Amino acid sequence: MFKRIGISVAIAGLLMGAAQTSHAARWDGADDLPVSPLACGDEEGGAAAAALPYDGGMAINAPDKAGAEITLVDVPKLIGIGYFAATTEGMRQAAEELGNVKVKTDGPTEANIDDQITFLDNFITQGVDGLLFAANDPVAIAPVLRTALKKGVHVVGYDANSEPDAREWFVNQAEFNGIAKSMVDSIVAEIGDDGKFAIVTSTFTTPNQARWIAEMQAYQEKCFPDAQWLETVEAQEDNILSFNQANTLINKYGEDLQGLLGMTSVATPASAEAVTQAGLCGDVAVVGLATPNAMKPYVASDCVKSVVLWNPVDLGYAAVHVMRAVVDGKFAPGATEVSAGRLGTLNVVNGSEVLLGAPYVFNKDNITDFDF
């Protein structure tokens, strides 16, 4: 069970869509996948997911490199931000530990799917043993990943998924309905079960964030039907847009805005800064996902109570161990678990996803112990 938290978040982006004070229909950016909201509050239980058959893809005629040195390339959503610097560090640690893996990270400097596809296509042409990726768009990225599989290149995703058959495995940082429950419980704990809040995401097509928000809507409607969801906006993983749009939301809704929920590690500190500069710490609750280094000043000033996030170093570390196990033939379709070095045994969920586990909660007592 995820711990209730009060967290700083990112609310940013170009304002899109009408205010969402009613949820008769799913929000504009929701996918068409089913939702499975967990039990309300501290209740035990909730819908238990049935075991699903493997639904991932397969590298065709991949060379046998079991135990041999392999070369991997990691293409995240974008480079140059703390979050993916942390996943890169985890990959480096895993490669050093394993001793027979070389891995490098490269990718676009903006969260642009067309640029990401170009990087992937170039690396496939150059020839690598495996591709690691975090998708900017689950559908648009799928064709180039399928091309890699057809050419015998192993493909493992992390952080943000593709269509399942376009990769072999996906390392999921936390289950979507669990993140949703944590986020909604956290904001309600601060603003009450009839409070008014807004959400900021990167783009409506970013797969992990779209899934979290769809699950958040389902959980909020089930457990806190009197809460009012004012708006969802996009931020494009851009720091300036995040700051500006946090201000826009504050000015647009005034005293009606009681809480901000943010889905990106870029927008979170910018929103905390916007709330700080507006003199609204304690008046507008900020809750969301962020890396600890960016949030330390706001936690120290008590504008942010705590920050929630899985450990992205562990996420990158796990992705490399999964890839190594696939190449070695130790992790194949139908497996229910995989060994991941210092992380121990990780479980398979939803057919072809490897679950990293519960997120970390960073607060004033422990945030200085982390450096990413």
192-246 residue pLDDT tens: 999 999 887 788 888 888 888 999 999 999 999 999 999 988 888 898 998 888 8
- Residue 182 and residue 278 in one domain: yes
Give the whole-angstrom CA distance, residue 247 versus residue 173: 30
Give the whole-angstrom CA distance, residue 306 versus residue 302: 9
65 is a domain residue:
no
Question: Which of 43-47, 73-77, 152-156, 223-227 is least confident?
Answer: 43-47
192, two tokens:
């009450």
Q: Which residue has the higher pLDDT, 31 or 137?
A: 137
247 is a domain residue:
yes
Count of structural domains within the chain: 2
- Residue 182 and residue 288 in one domain: yes
- Read off the pLDDT band of 300 (50, 70, 90): very high
59 is a domain residue:
no
What CATH number is associated with residue 276?
3.40.50.2300
Q: How confident is the model over 149-154, as a mean pLDDT?
A: 98
- Residue 228 and residue 271 in one domain: yes
161-182 residue pLDDT tens: 999 999 999 999 988 888 888 8
- Residue 102 and residue 221 in one domain: no
**Amino acid in position 124:** I
- Residue 13 and residue 116 in one domain: no
70-84 residue pLDDT tens: 999 999 999 998 889
46 is a domain residue:
no
Is pLDDT above 60 for 13? no
Name the percent of the chain in helix, strand, coil, to the closest 5. 35, 20, 45
54 is a domain residue:
no
Q: DSSP character for 119? A: H
235 is a domain residue:
yes
The whole domain housing 322 covers 70-167+312-355
- Residue 185 and residue 267 in one domain: yes
In a 10 Å sphere around its CB, with 0-12 CB exposed, 13-18 middle and 19+ buried, how is residue 19 labelled? middle
Give the whole-angstrom CA distance, residue 55 versus residue 299: 42
pLDDT value, residue 235? 85
- Residue 26 and residue 148 in one domain: no
Is pLDDT above 70 for 279? yes
Q: Are 21 and 229 in contact (CB under 8 A)?
A: yes
Q: Which residue has the higher pLDDT, 157 or 190?
A: 157
Q: How confident is the model over 259-288, as a mean pLDDT?
A: 89
- Residue 326 and residue 194 in one domain: no
Torsion region of 36: left, alpha or beta (phi above 0 gives left; psi -120 to 50 gives alpha): beta
- Residue 227 and residue 181 in one domain: yes
- Residue 250 and residue 362 in one domain: yes
Rg for the chain, CA atoms, rounded? 20
8, two tokens:
């700083």
- CA separation, residue 144 to residues 115, 151, 240 (Å): 12, 11, 31
